Amino acid sequence: METVNRLLDSIKDVGRDAVRGGYSRAVYTTPELDLRQWFIEQAQQRGLDVEADRNGITWAWWGKPRDGALVTGSHLDSVPGGGAFDGPLGVASALAAVDLLKSRGVEPRRSLAVTVFPEEEGSRFGVACLGSRLLTGAIDVDKARNLRDADGNTFADVAQANGLDPRHVGPDTAALARIGDFVELHVEQGRGLGDQGPAIAVGSSILGHGRWKLSVGGQGNHAGTTLMADRADPMVAAAQIVVAVRDTAAKQPDARATVGRLTPVPGGTNVIASRVDLWLDARHPDDAVTAQLIEAIYGAAREIAAGEGCTVSLTEESYSNTVHFDPALSRRIGELLPGAPVLATGAGHDAGVLAGHVPSAMLFVRNPSGISHSPEEYVADEDASAGAVALADVLEGLL
């Protein structure tokens, strides 16, 4: 029997990022593929039957693959320079929970599967939860096939190179029917669990969130020969747009808006850029308010761009409505974990995408600082262990 801490320890060197710090485990890169292999081996050591579906989701079955199974799992990909726990904690806890259930002599009344979803972070192809979106039909299949990574490779080509047939990616009602209930354990990504008291919470909802691309066009030119008065520099407009994003969101209670990625084209120290692409992540509990926020940001961006002699366009790349987890399933989980607080989250998860189709719920494990998407993300060993035990208790109660 393996503890969740030992399982996490066994992958602690996979995908370390010497430049950014933390881990960079983008989908279908060597570290993420190594982690998939690790998962397959761990599942097989436990006697689970492993299969990959046509969207690249890995399923490890305890019992025959059957409709209505109890499914738990998370993801193994990361943001660039991410922490050790976002994703892998849920996968390692699921494996540890299987060990606990077996050591308790639990005889499952229905099949149990541990799943690993690809591209949860959207850090390579830009759309978060790509695996669960494809599975559920939450993304147009052609749009998904044509998503490109930073090097211009399409998702279709990369998927094909990794054994998926891009003609067959997309909604999979048979695979979805296998999920009777879905429970995802995840590191908490805020400070919702204090230093004292329970280390595990039950999830209630996920904030509506989306991603937009702003492209600011200007006049590419020479940094030395172009007089300051003669410039149409999209970088100068982009800098002001970043501030406008912050200021617009700050005026809207409960809104969050971030520009975490910005690419000047062509990107040279002595080159005035001809274009700057900015990616905007915006979130709010009310989808109508998010729409107004984006309109206000785009209005401000147009004004700023015009003031610099530039143009700007806005494209929505993905959107997920606010999700409330299944009340009956969450209530049952609350009964199985007496005293566990109930927490909402501002982070997106595959459980949120699945929630529109099958009863879904989440458990969160304490992260004392609340820091996540950063190398400083942290879970104490004893809290990780408590999380695996809580997951085992929940699975045992639901099986």
> At which residue do the structure tokens 């809207």 appear?
252
Which of 23, 61 has the CB closer to ligand GLV? 23
**Residues 388 and 90: beta-carbon distance below 8 Å:** no
**Least distance CB 272 / Mn ion (angstroms):** 35
Residue pair 145/154 in contact (Cβ under 8 Å)? The answer is yes
Out of ligand GLV, Mn ion, none, what residue 87 binds, judged by CB under 5 to 8 A for its kind, is Mn ion
Q: Are 352 and 129 in contact (CB under 8 A)?
A: yes
Strand, helix or coil for residue 276: strand
Smallest distance, Å, CB 330 to ligand GLV?
20
The CA distances from residue 153 to 101, 131, 267, 321, in Å, are 42, 18, 20, 29
Tell me how many residues contact ligand GLV (CB under 6 A): 4
118 binds Mn ion (CB under 5 A): no
The item of Mn ion, ligand GLV, none sharing an interface with residue 128, based on CB under 5 to 8 Å by kind, is ligand GLV
Nearest distance from C-beta of residue 257 to ligand GLV, angstroms: 13
In the block, tokens 């738990």 appear at: 72
Q: Which of residues 70-89 bind Mn ion (CB under 5 A)?
A: 86-87
Q: Which does 50 bind (CB under 5 to 8 A by kind): Mn ion, ligand GLV, none?
A: none
DSSP per-residue letters across 113-157:
EEEEES-SS-TTTS-TTHHHHHHHT-S-HHHHHT-B-TTS-BHHH
The three-state secondary structure class of 164 is: coil
Q: How far apart are CA 213 and CA 218, in angstroms?
A: 16
Q: Which does 348 bind (CB under 5 to 8 A by kind): ligand GLV, Mn ion, none?
A: ligand GLV
Q: Which of 272, 268, 157 is nearest to 220 (CA)?
A: 272
Q: What's the min distance (Å) between Cβ of 256 and Mn ion?
A: 14
Nearer to Mn ion, 65 or 279 (CB): 279
The mark string for 323-362 relative to ligand GLV (x by CB under 6 A, - otherwise) is ------------------------xx--------------
- Would you say the C-alpha torsion 344, 350, 353, 359 has a positive or negative sign? negative
Q: Does 121 bind ligand GLV (CB under 6 A)?
A: yes
**Residue numbers of the site for Mn ion (CB under 5 A)?**
86-87
**Residue numbers of the site for ligand GLV (CB under 6 A)?**
121, 128, 347-348
